[in-house]
Amino acid sequence: VVQTFGRLDMAFNNAGIQPPPADAAEETADNFDRVVAVNLRGVWAAMKHELAVMRDQDSGGAIVNCSSLGGLVGGPKRSAYHSTKFGIIGMTRSAGIEYAARGVRINAVCPGTIDTPMVERMVAGGELDLDQVLASTPMARLGTGDEIASAVLWLCSDGASYVTGVALPVDGGYTA
């Protein structure tokens, strides 16, 4: 991007895998390490390199990290996944404070249950009860990728020029 356009104005860091549900005492170290490597370290690595560019630009930039509803609330048999998504929020808030004076805004979006291939696989495999999800979501439906993209675009836009360090739920009212 920098070679082609001379700068980096915005970035969306979206990395996430969902391991099968596991009792916290039964979670394997290999499984935990894999989830951390993709979900947390993947976002950290991207943000690190984006910040190296943005901090030296005259007008900074905007970074949005993808956390999850799982970064805002706990859930049984999901401790590995949720810990990475909570970590993304902590990293976002800390870096948001650190880079605010340099004109770089860093926020997170926290999608609820979104109609994606991963959710379809979880429902088909019995790892997620769709009726229960819909019953616990005030809007009583799954979100869409376009709805998450709209929130990310807003956080990257001048309309959010006074927003940094925020974890924005886009969850159909679940956390309300």
Residues 81, 99, 162, 174: which is the catalytic one? 81
Residue 86 is given by DSSP the state H
Q: Is 81 a residue of the active site?
A: yes
To which H or E segment does residue 34 belong? helix 29-35
Spell out the residues 6+ positions from residue 130 whose beta carbon is closer than 8 angstroms to its own.
123
d(Cα 149, Cα 20) in Å, to the nearest integer?
26
Helix 79-100, helix 42-54: angle, nearest 10:
10
Catalytic residues: 81
